[in-house]
Amino acid sequence: MSYKLEIKNLSFAYENKNVLRNISLCVEYGEKIAVMGANGAGKSTLFLNLNGVLTPDEGEIYIDGIKILKTNRKILNKKVGFVFQEADSQIIASNVRSEISFGPINMGLDRREVIKRVDEAIGYMSLTGFEDRAPQYLSGGEKKRVSIADILAMRPEVLLFDEPMTALDPVGAKDTEEILDKLCAEGKTLIVSTHDSDFAYRFAKRIIVMSEGEIIADGTPYEIFSQPDVINKAHIKKPALMRMWEGLIALGIADNNGKYPVIEAEALEILALKYKGKESSK
């Protein structure tokens, strides 16, 4: 079977400190995955390995069936894009346009193709009008958009987002979530690390939970959040909607048929259907 991205028994240590232990993972094309776990669980280190910045001490990474060796690590840079947590640590150039061009130029594309991709990424992230702006005069949300455009211009097939909502105001966070949804709808594979279980619950189709460098659970959001031991071990919180629904089930208001609503509107609809016998207006 040919998986998009496959990791077999990957281990990684920073100067004798084991950060990742024996990680195996298969990611198929078009998946929407959230990676959760406490700080220091190894999420960012896993991403750096997947993106080819770090080389695993043990284990193998395959992409499209190609085994990644030291000599062809650049394939990972190209096919797996990594949007860093802090936009400021990613932005290197002194204006938006040259910043976005950095990745495509490193890929060895010719100038016309670079310009085409940069223009496309600027349009996609609605950065038109900011092309000549220096990064020090951009707001946090704008910087985030630039850092995503950076990666989009490289046209990777898998996108890694390291805690994309941190340090963003609610509007910025909402915009970022919309961008993630849009990318998914276009068939990109997304792996997003997050602490926000409400976001993970409504966004992801699959959640991977990490603790102390190991994957301790891998499944649908409902499966993950109904395991109290996993929740405790990984220091994550049960999503508000799920707690609410469990409360409603306990009170006998909602039916326990194993189908939990994913967003508020869905919950309202189920209840309206049950008690009023019609679809709610919302």
For another protein, the binding residue among 20, 35, 41, 99 (CB under 8 A) is 99
Q: Could you give the C-alpha distances from 262 to 17, 49, 63, 157, in angstroms and in order?
A: 39, 32, 31, 27
* CA atoms within 13 A of residue 44's CA, in its CB half-sphere: 12
Query: Which CB sits closer to another protein, 44 or 197?
Result: 44
Distance CA 59, CA 265 (A): 44
Closest listed residue to residue 61, CA positions, set 79, 83, 76: 76
| CA 209 distance to own-chain centroid | 13
Q: Which stretch binds another protein (CB under 8 A): 94-102, 186-194, 249-257, 263-271?
A: 94-102
Give min distance, CB of 39 to another protein, in A.
15
Q: Is 42 an interacting residue with respect to another protein (CB under 8 A)?
A: no
Q: Is 66 an interacting residue with respect to another protein (CB under 8 A)?
A: no
Structural tokens at position 153: 């211009």
Q: Is 52 an interacting residue with respect to another protein (CB under 8 A)?
A: yes
Q: Which stretch binds another protein (CB under 8 A): 89-97, 165-173, 260-268, 270-278?
A: 89-97
Query: Which CB sits closer to another protein, 145 or 206?
Result: 145
Cross-sheet strand order for the sheet of 189-193 = 80-83, 158-162, 189-193, 32-36, 206-211, 214-219
| Contact footprint for another protein (CB under 8 A) | 48, 51-53, 74, 77-78, 81-82, 84, 86, 88-95, 97-99, 101-103, 105-107, 111, 114-115, 118, 132-137, 150-151, 154
